[in-house]
Amino acid sequence: MRCAVLGDPITHSLSPALHRAGYAAAGLTGWSYDAVRVPAGGVRGFVEALDATWRGLSVTAPLKREVLVLATEVTERARLAGAANTLVIGPEGRLADNTDLPGAVAAVRERYAGPVTSATVLGAGATAASTGLALVELGARSVTLLARSPERAAETAAVIAAHPSAPRVRVGSLALDPVVGEVVVSTVPAQAQTEDLVARCGAAAVVFEALYAPWPTPLSRSAADRALVGGLDLLVHQAALQFTMFTGLPAPLEQMRAAGEQALAERSAR
């Protein structure tokens, strides 16, 4: 059976290392997992050309919203997020799901057992939407989105506000506004993490850095005395859910995590 991760760019992806390690640990010798560059607008052509040997796709930027329309069934969490990072392919059709949302919940709870009543998300793209929803699932009654262009954050704000628990969502300026709540999630590039922004994140009990490369980021370096959730944590937990959806088997989480850590270490040594 064949699986792959799609996106553009895609050469940086750790997903092949994680999934291949999972296949090896589970003894799935007939399974393969590759990284395929598919630019915006190209996912329909790619998916519709697949044959019966394909079982699943991981989907990353800029395709997470585009892939939804290709599914014959969409899970409630993918519908809620307005984006899918997973497409399960079978004879009965294509199932679109979003494992970023439960993966983010699991990643936070692995590092932090305290309350989440409010939180701030830096950025306003698809990852901001799914992690914002995860914060609501963890108990946040209010979520603040800080964006470089606040006027572009309306769609993400609407996605989070549509959660059945009806959280309050406020949009502010990444350059100016305060960071509030127990958790701060960064979905912005490392170069956008200015000294001032990092300082404004100093009161959060949990720093959730959605990036895994480059590592460490300015924000992650500031979290030495606080709970730190990294992009690899998120990647491993969402990939483990995908692994089970694709194969029907429990995910070998620790072997997948170890493969991700090794791949990152090899990159940093180059």
Pairing of strands 206-209, 183-186: parallel
Q: Could you say which of 19, 20, 55, 64 is catalytic?
A: 64
Query: How would you class 231 by CB atoms within 10 Å of its CB: exposed for 0-12, middle for 13-18, buried for 19 or more?
Result: buried
Pairing of strands 142-147, 118-122: parallel
In the DSSP assignment, the letter for residue 178 is P
- Is-catalytic flag, 64? yes
The residues facing 87 across adjacent strands are 57, 96
Task: Give the closest residue to 263 by CA, choosing from 213, 227, 222, 208.
Answer: 213
Q: What is the dihedral of CA 116, 119, 123, 124, to 10 degrees?
A: 80
Task: Give the closest residue to 220 by CA, choosing from 260, 193, 181, 259.
Answer: 193
Asked whether the CA dihedral 187, 188, 193, 197 is positive or negative, the reply is: negative
Q: How far apart are the first and last CA of the chain?
A: 32
Q: Order of strands, edge to edge, in the sheet holding 168-173?
A: 168-173, 142-147, 118-122, 183-186, 206-209, 227-229
Q: Which residues are catalytic?
A: 64
